Chain A
Amino acid sequence: MNMVRLIAWREYMENVKTKGFWAGILIFPIIFTAMYFLQTTLANSTPTRYYVFIDQSGEYSSAVETAIERDHQRRVLEEFVSYLMENRKETDLNLTAAGQTNPADQLIDSADADEVAALEQWLESGGLDFALTMASPALKDDRPPFEQPARQFIPADLPAGIDSSAAPTEIAQALRPYLNGERKILVDSKPSELFALILIPADVNEDISRPGAMPQAGGGPAGIQYWARNLTDTRLPDAIISSINSQIRNREYIDLGVDNQIVRNVQRTRMPISQLDPTAAQGEEQVSVADTFRQLAPIGFVYLMFISLMQSVQYLLSNTIEEKSNRIIEVLLASVTAGELMMGKLLGIGMSALTTIAVWLLSFFLFITLYRSSQTELISQILDVILGSELIPWFVFYYFAGYALYSGMFLAIGSLCNTLKEAQAMMMPMIMIQVIPLAMMVFVVRDPHNTIVRAMSWFPLFTPYLMMNRAAADPPLIDVVGTTIVLLLSIVFVLWLSGKVFRMGVLRTGQPPKLLELLRSLRQGD
């Protein structure tokens, strides 16, 4: 046992001392953090976009202005909601829709539930100023002032020399160089890029299509013309067209003699849905956000398990192959038994893997503690729920079981190979086997008691992944106990067999043996 500990410790220290180990570990949280900030920054740093708006019909200018204002207000609302989440006095994620008490929570909830309705309500009730006044009693006293996001779409004047009453084709032709980026328009006497041209021809109403009517055949663009080089940022045309459509519909309602206020109220009528969990105690059946995450958490665990196992396997293979190609193995085998050597390696690499997980979790906690925002707040609350659930012991068990099973096999592979290249060819099927339960992850969470899933759980190589995957759904006892027994027996068998292969493999030189040859040597008990 002493020797095992000594070997494990050296193996561990050798990994931990290399820069590559830490680079490999830290790249994960660094990329994660960078991606998080990049996304937030990108979302906020979209440049101001200038558009030229020409309404030859004279009917829709207010609708377009409203559309753009609404788009801006929606962003204000989004920002404000996350401002509320960050600064409200108390936050309790287990609260359900029924238990709303303060205006801030109500606003957050309605923003989550129905964005359109929330926006209407927001605009009707007076927007930001009103919301700030309403919410302030529920907010922390030491909150920072709310910062409004900058406007993203700003109208620009038509460049001099272009007649706004000219035929649409002529206007488009004249603005082409601006829209292509070849020429700049002047905004406050600064040259700026023209993002889009919104052109509403005088006869636009002729293009309105109604159900039952045949679509009009004909060349040329129909309806409103939206000219822009950027085809992916559709916020502007989307906003405009929905605003104009609602104006047209209002007009039609009026023509039909229907009160459009009634229509709008009808449109905002909705039925809530309560998700209830029959396994929860009476009175606590309401499914909260956290409950949903508890059900989804296994996906994260399975993924973590896979990444960590893959990483350990790399270390196992490269260390074994180093010792083998260096012939250090011979000195080691003169000092310790092959079994001790193998166990030492498994333990040492296992400690490295645990260090990796610990560092990841630590940096994750550091991140959500140091950088508080609405999202991280949510994450930390979800984490609280997950850490408090029975999933953690399951994860620990399946992690170690999976590690013992897979690393035993990979170690045997490593002992048969002289170069990493040989080893990679041999480990390919092993990796493919792990990809199967990984690919099933989302499906398994949705249907954890599916017959195929249940049957596959009994295959020991899948057991750690699939049973972890199913853990949140309280799988039948027979599955839990049965697969655990099969898994443990397989681990004992794999470690025993790997020990034999390892002893035989480490002193081998030359090509890895063929399967038959391997079986024969194993039988001979070499």
Chain B
Amino acid sequence: MCPAILESQTNTATSSVLSLQNVCKTYGDFTAVDEISLSIPRGSIYGFLGPNGAGKTTTIRMILEIIKPSSGTISILGHASALDVRNRIGYLPEEKGLYKKMKVWALIQYFAMLKGMSKQSAKRQAWYLLEKYGLKDFAEAKVESLSKGMGQKVQVLSAVAHEPELVILDEPFSGLDPVNQSVLEELITDMAENGQTVIFSTHVMQHAERLCDHILLIAKGRKIFDGTVNEAKATIPRRVMLESLDDVAALGSIAGVTEVIQIDSMDPAVASSGQWQLQISEQLNPQDILRSCFERNIALSRFEFTEPSLHDVFVHLVGDEAKEHAFR
């Protein structure tokens, strides 16, 4: 292999598949997306998280150039416009819909052909995918006879049948039962292993937590957070929950314990619930707290350390905005 090609390959491998710079979208006075910048590395699974109406779908539509941004620049697969590389992108929109009268395999074939596949290979790929993801028996059925969940699986397959380098799935898990959710998770990991980059939006944090390398958290059109899942978790303090009738305030003196909070009792008859929350720094090993408790003769009836979940992060970062949005 000549060095030039090798070099260019290394370049693409390290460079980002998609980058947004200060992208805005306004509709009249309303700002749907406000100054979003991000960069998505090749081969990653990237989650767009945010409450309803946060601007996830608008951002995705701008990435695909279905709508044009009001300002800012987008670079996708090394091009300024998604239209130039549309055959290398796969897209599942938020609102799912298919041609009702078409046969399942023909539908997947059609969408693959729209992405530039030949008729024969599109057909072969449709049958291969239907078999692989457990839909072979429905291949000859008409789309209208499928259940909602099944239809959605078919739509996901039709979005990725042409093996795109970049897959964008808008709310792919909504409406799927737990079994099919894990089939979809499997499909996403398969694609990532295959070297494809997957972006998906969701407001169900468990999926993002299980799948994503990186997440983008947006609310009200603004970027709240952008980084790895671990970085996200680091944005909220780690906590240790204690239950003890003794006074545990002294634990505050341990290096790395930032705050000791007594949780008020729900029952006014009892003076103290004996529930305590300790916020600890990233560096502190929770075992050290346990050890200190023994040393100080604090009798514990409960000791609980939980890593913060992405759900906690979400609520912590955008909880208020999401609530506000819900009642707007």
A binding-site residues for B, Cβ under 8 Å:
3, 6-7, 10, 14, 17-18, 322-323, 325-328, 330-337, 507, 526
Offer 17 A-B interface pairs, CB within 8 angstroms, sorted by A.
A14-B101, A18-B101, A322-B99, A325-B97, A326-B99, A327-B93, A327-B94, A327-B95, A327-B96, A327-B97, A330-B61, A330-B95, A332-B114, A333-B66, A335-B86, A526-B67, A526-B68
Which of A7, A10, A17, A332 has the largest number of chain B CB atoms within 10 A? A10
Closest B residue by C-beta to A336: B114
5 A-B pairs with least C-beta separation:
A326-B97, A327-B95, A330-B93, A334-B91, A335-B114
Given contacts A6-B113, A327-B96, contact A334 B68 (CB under 8 A): no
A507 partner, pick from B66, B87, B155, beta carbons under 8 A = B66
B83 partner, pick from A322, A327, A330, A337, beta carbons under 8 A = A337
Given contacts A14-B101, A326-B98, contact A3 B93 (CB under 8 A): no
Classify chain B: how many residues form its interface, as a range: 20 to 34
Given contacts A14-B99, A17-B101, A327-B95, contact A334 B64 (CB under 8 A): yes
B159 within 8 A of A: yes
Assembled-state Cα–Cα distance A322/B94 (Å): 17
B105 within 8 A of A: no
Would you call A331 and B101 a contact (CB within 8 A)? no
Note all chain B residues with C-beta closer than 8 A to A326: 97-100
B111 within 8 A of A: yes
Would you call A507 and B67 a contact (CB within 8 A)? yes
B102 within 8 A of A: yes
**Which chain B residues (205-220) contact chain A, with CB distance < 8 Å?**
none
B89 within 8 A of A: yes
Which DSSP category, helix, strand, loop or mixed, fits chain A's interface? helix
Contact with A along B136-161 (1 / 0, CB 8 A): 00000000000000000001001100
Closest B residue by C-beta to A326: B97
Assembled-state Cα–Cα distance A283/B80 (Å): 73
Note all chain B residues with C-beta closer than 8 A to A328: 97-99
Closest A residue by C-beta to B91: A334
B173 within 8 A of A: no
Given contacts A326-B98, A327-B97, A507-B67, contact A10 B110 (CB under 8 A): yes
Note all chain B residues with C-beta closer than 8 A to A336: 86, 114
Closest A residue by C-beta to B114: A335
Given contacts A10-B110, A18-B101, contact A334 B96 (CB under 8 A): no
Contact with A along B81-123 (1 / 0, CB 8 A): 0110011010111111111111000000011011100000000
Assembled-state Cα–Cα distance A526/B68 (Å): 7
Would you call A3 and B98 a contact (CB within 8 A)? no
Closest B residue by C-beta to A7: B114
Which of B95, B98, B111, B114 has the largest number of chain A CB atoms within 10 A? B114
Q: How far is the CB of B110 from chain A (nearest CB, A)?
A: 6
Assembled-state Cα–Cα distance A3/B159 (Å): 17
B91 partner, pick from A14, A331, A337, A507, beta carbons under 8 A = A331
Assembled-state Cα–Cα distance A332/B158 (Å): 12
B binding-site residues for A, Cβ under 8 Å:
61, 64, 66-68, 82-83, 86-87, 89, 91-102, 110-111, 113-115, 155, 158-159
Assembled-state Cα–Cα distance A182/B233 (Å): 99
Given contacts A322-B99, A333-B66, 13 further A-B contacts (CB under 8 A): A3-B114, A6-B110, A14-B102, A17-B101, A323-B97, A327-B94, A330-B66, A331-B159, A334-B66, A334-B91, A336-B86, A336-B114, A526-B67
Q: How far is the CB of B306 from chain A (nearest CB, A)?
A: 40
Closest A residue by C-beta to B90: A334
Note all chain B residues with C-beta closer than 8 A to A322: 99-100
Note all chain A residues with C-beta closer than 8 A to B101: 14, 17-18
Note all chain B residues with C-beta closer than 8 A to A335: 86-87, 91, 111, 114-115
Q: How far is the CB of B240 from chain A (nearest CB, A)?
A: 47
Given contacts A17-B101, A326-B98, contact A331 B93 (CB under 8 A): yes
Q: How far is the CB of A327 from chain B (nearest CB, A)?
A: 4
Assembled-state Cα–Cα distance A113/B108 (Å): 68
Note all chain B residues with C-beta closer than 8 A to A3: 114
Note all chain B residues with C-beta closer than 8 A to A6: 110, 113-114
Q: How far is the CB of B17 from chain A (nearest CB, A)?
A: 16
Note all chain A residues with C-beta closer than 8 A to B64: 333-334
Note all chain A residues with C-beta closer than 8 A to B86: 334-336
Assembled-state Cα–Cα distance A325/B110 (Å): 20
Assembled-state Cα–Cα distance A56/B274 (Å): 129
Given contacts A326-B97, A507-B67, contact A331 B102 (CB under 8 A): no
Assembled-state Cα–Cα distance A337/B66 (Å): 9
Assembled-state Cα–Cα distance A10/B111 (Å): 11
Note all chain B residues with C-beta closer than 8 A to A325: 97
Q: How far is the CB of A316 from chain B (nearest CB, A)?
A: 16
Note all chain A residues with C-beta closer than 8 A to B83: 337
Assembled-state Cα–Cα distance A148/B92 (Å): 75
Note all chain B residues with C-beta closer than 8 A to A526: 67-68
Note all chain B residues with C-beta closer than 8 A to A332: 114
Q: How far is the CB of B45 from chain A (nearest CB, A)?
A: 20
Closest B residue by C-beta to A325: B97
Note all chain B residues with C-beta closer than 8 A to A323: 97
Q: How far is the CB of B4 from chain A (nearest CB, A)?
A: 32
Q: How far is the CB of B39 from chain A (nearest CB, A)?
A: 21
Which of A18, A322, A328, A337 has the largest number of chain B CB atoms within 10 A? A328
Which of A322, A325, A327, A334 has the largest number of chain B CB atoms within 10 A? A334
Note all chain A residues with C-beta closer than 8 A to B99: 14, 322, 326, 328
Assembled-state Cα–Cα distance A18/B99 (Å): 13
Note all chain B residues with C-beta closer than 8 A to A327: 93-97
Assembled-state Cα–Cα distance A327/B100 (Å): 12
Closest A residue by C-beta to B66: A333
Assembled-state Cα–Cα distance A18/B144 (Å): 14
Note all chain A residues with C-beta closer than 8 A to B155: 331
Assembled-state Cα–Cα distance A331/B64 (Å): 10
Note all chain A residues with C-beta closer than 8 A to B68: 526
Note all chain B residues with C-beta closer than 8 A to A18: 101
Assembled-state Cα–Cα distance A526/B114 (Å): 24
Closest A residue by C-beta to B95: A327
Note all chain A residues with C-beta closer than 8 A to B100: 322, 326
Would you call B111 and A331 a contact (CB within 8 A)? yes
Assembled-state Cα–Cα distance A498/B64 (Å): 22
Note all chain A residues with C-beta closer than 8 A to B66: 330, 333-334, 507
Assembled-state Cα–Cα distance A334/B90 (Å): 8
Closest B residue by C-beta to A340: B114
Assembled-state Cα–Cα distance A51/B189 (Å): 94
Assembled-state Cα–Cα distance A279/B153 (Å): 70
Closest A residue by C-beta to B89: A334
Closest A residue by C-beta to B115: A335
Q: How far is the CB of A255 from chain B (nearest CB, A)?
A: 84
Q: How far is the CB of B81 from chain A (nearest CB, A)?
A: 11
Note all chain A residues with C-beta closer than 8 A to B95: 327, 330
Closest B residue by C-beta to A335: B114
Assembled-state Cα–Cα distance A334/B96 (Å): 14
Note all chain B residues with C-beta closer than 8 A to A14: 99, 101-102
Note all chain A residues with C-beta closer than 8 A to B159: 331
Closest B residue by C-beta to A520: B28
Closest A residue by C-beta to B64: A334
Closest B residue by C-beta to A17: B101
Assembled-state Cα–Cα distance A507/B57 (Å): 12
Closest B residue by C-beta to A334: B91
Q: How far is the CB of B108 from chain A (nearest CB, A)?
A: 12
Assembled-state Cα–Cα distance A175/B201 (Å): 91
Q: How far is the CB of A514 from chain B (nearest CB, A)?
A: 14
Q: How far is the CB of A272 from chain B (nearest CB, A)?
A: 63
